[in-house]
Chains A and B, each alone.
Chain A
Amino acid sequence: MKTLPIQLLLLFSLLLVIYSCEKEDSIIEQENRLKTVALEDAQAFLSQSWKKNSSGSGNSFITSISEEINYEDITNTDEELAVIPVTTTYKHLQSRIALLEIDGEVQSVVVSLKPFEHSTPGNFSGELLITDIKGNFIKAFKVENNILVIEYIIKNKIYKNYYEDLDKNSSYNSNAKSCEDFAGTEWCIDGEEVIVTAYLPTPYVSLSHMYPTGGGGEESNCEVGCDNNWNPSGGGGGDANLNPEPEPESENCPEGFYQNLEGECIEILPCNTNDEILDSAALQAAFADIWEQSGALNTDIPMESRLEEGGWIVENSGRFGFIPFDSSWSRTPCGINPPANWASTIPDNIVGYVHTHPFYLGEDRRSICQQAEAEYQGGPSDDDYFLLMAIASEVGNFNILGFVIDGEQITSFDFTRTENMQNFNRCGY
């Protein structure tokens, strides 16, 4: 009878050894399925993709590929992810191709991030979109303070491209009546489900999300946290600034103020505008685009190389969209001159118009703008206002709004000229 405990102990030990071996085999098996894409293979893959793209036989989703290839860690394996900064048709997103060899085949996805205004280095908050290299949707998440908090259920495309399709006036999917688009893309959020990944200290994304056809799996016999993950905001070089530094506040100004070119302390306006037009993700993306096209991303850019840009703001079934002014309209750093038939280009569903002033408060633009003031003051001019009134007269709707984007703020105005004029923080776009 005395040997029974010893026998039981031996049996338990044997079971433990067998279990451990099985688990190790499983991890080894898993690891064997994943392999780092060799540098030359990655280069060949990218070259091939780019050739297809350039020849038109591929897709136009990726618009440029960096020559830089970085290798970044994957949890629970020695294999690494080959990561290449790219730009896509979603210019406002920070995108990278992630390459991994799975079962002997190079798999690719594009991981795109849109940091929120409050995102900081080391503490990412924003939206994360995973697509294939043709732009087809795979996964979408919301990240708050490094934690994936929401996985979006996205089924419909709202419209293919707010530039092209809105122009064709055939833009909206009938299923998109009440849905919000994701991260300024054409993807329509159908629903969302709360997910919990709080055990991970940074915004790790499981490879099973990135490569659903065989990427790193969650082992059924594995403890929580031992699947293969990648931290898309974890650096590893590249061009993407995933956590933009907030504008430094001037030491000469009190908290909540910044110093403009004239040394004046300007109040930093709240980011949440509560303006339904300005809070529309699609329009924020459009505004970011026209500001980028204006070529005034900073004060070092010569004023003569900047251009005013703009377009129509439209609404369809409660959703806002943007149509740029026709490219034939004459643009200068100081204005936009529509042609004589300008009124015929007003879309039926117009709710406003927006244009940029590619200047920063206090800049002296007298050398390039006729009769301009010594210091740029911001806000709409009489010409801007009278265009609004002319539009309102044409469409018989005096609720049309005007928006002016400059280097520091967005100003909205209506038919009352200055009475209802409001200035908004640009909130990063």
Chain B
Amino acid sequence: MKGITFISIMLISFSVYSQTDKTNACSPERPYGKFKIERFLTFHESDYRQKSGTSNEKTSQIQLVSDSKACKALRIFIAENKTYKEFDQKISNEEIIYFYETSNFFYVFWDYKPEFFRPRMGPPRPFLVVNKDFTQSWNFRL
């Protein structure tokens, strides 16, 4: 009986841990992910940068968000926004959300998982810019 209880507790713990880990998980590096952010900060519509206040962000500071607290906060932020939550739910099993950052902003977008990634033609998709204190966000289509 003790053995069964122990195994059950272990299974439940593992399940909860997995769920927590998934909720907090940061995204892997997307092929050309930094390049995508760099293009947004350089070549893309200057209007977008002016609107979001990212005109002075330095491309050298672009990096994948690796702090699990930041990833968790981003996931909660998206889950609490009706539009963004809908974006997050309307993806296929081959896709995931990606988080990148510069000094003052997070950049969020959805795309194929690295193992399914390859160049393709497709419609513009949401590209979110979120300031680091989560007080403002901008939804662009790239």
| A residues at B contact (CB < 8 Å) | 308, 310, 334-338, 340, 342, 355, 357, 365, 369-373, 377, 381-387, 389-391, 416-419
Contacts and interface: CB of A to CB of B under 8 A. Distances in A.
A418 B119 contact: no
A369 B125 CA distance: 10
Interface stretch (B16-24, B38-46, B56-64, B69-77): B38-46
Given A371-B87, A371-B110, A384 B43 contact: no
Contact of A336 (B35, B91, B121, B124): B121
B44 A417 contact: yes
Interface in B23-39: 32, 35-36, 39
A369 B43 CA distance: 26
B3 interface: no
Contacts of A417: 39, 43-44
Nearest to A331: B121
Interface in B75-89: 87
B123 A369 contact: yes
Contacts of B127: 382
10 contacts: A308-B121, A334-B122, A335-B120, A336-B121, A338-B118, A370-B123, A372-B123, A373-B141, A382-B39, A418-B43
A185 B14 CA distance: 68
Given A369-B123, A383-B120, 10 more contacts: A336-B120, A342-B118, A371-B123, A371-B125, A373-B123, A381-B121, A383-B123, A386-B36, A417-B44, A418-B45
Contact of A338 (B44, B119, B142): B119
Interface residues of B, number: 24
Contacts of B35: 386, 389
Contacts of B90: 370-371
Given A338-B120, A371-B90, A381 B142 contact: yes
**Smallest CB-CB A-B distances: 3 pairs:** A335-B122, A390-B119, A382-B142
Contact of A419 (B32, B43, B142): B43
A370 B142 CA distance: 13
A336 B122 CA distance: 7
Contacts of B126: 371
B40 to A, nearest CB: 9
Contacts of A383: 119-123, 125
A349 B113 CA distance: 32
Nearest to B47: A418
Contacts of B91: 370-371
Interface in B90-109: 90-92
A385 B39 contact: yes
A235 B100 CA distance: 63
A191 B90 CA distance: 58
A390 B121 CA distance: 12
Contacts of A386: 32, 35-36, 119
B121 A418 contact: no
Of A383, A391, A416, chain B has the most CB atoms within 10 Å of the CB of A383
A131 B9 CA distance: 84
Nearest to A366: B90
A113 to B, nearest CB: 34
Nearest to A385: B39
Contacts of A336: 120-121
A308 B123 CA distance: 11
A387 B125 contact: no
A342 B119 contact: yes
Given A370-B90, A386-B32, A335 B39 contact: no
Of B39, B87, B118, B124, chain A has the most CB atoms within 10 Å of the CB of B124
A132 B36 CA distance: 54
A366 to B, nearest CB: 9
Interface in B116-140: 118-127
Contacts of A308: 121
A387 B124 contact: no
A381 B44 contact: no
Nearest to A376: B123
Contact of B125 (A338, A355, A381, A389): A381
A383 B141 CA distance: 11
Nearest to A382: B142
A308 B122 CA distance: 9
A337 B120 contact: yes
A338 B126 CA distance: 22
B68 to A, nearest CB: 26
B49 to A, nearest CB: 11
Nearest to A343: B119
B124 to A, nearest CB: 4
A365 B87 CA distance: 15
B141 A377 contact: yes
Contacts of B44: 417-418
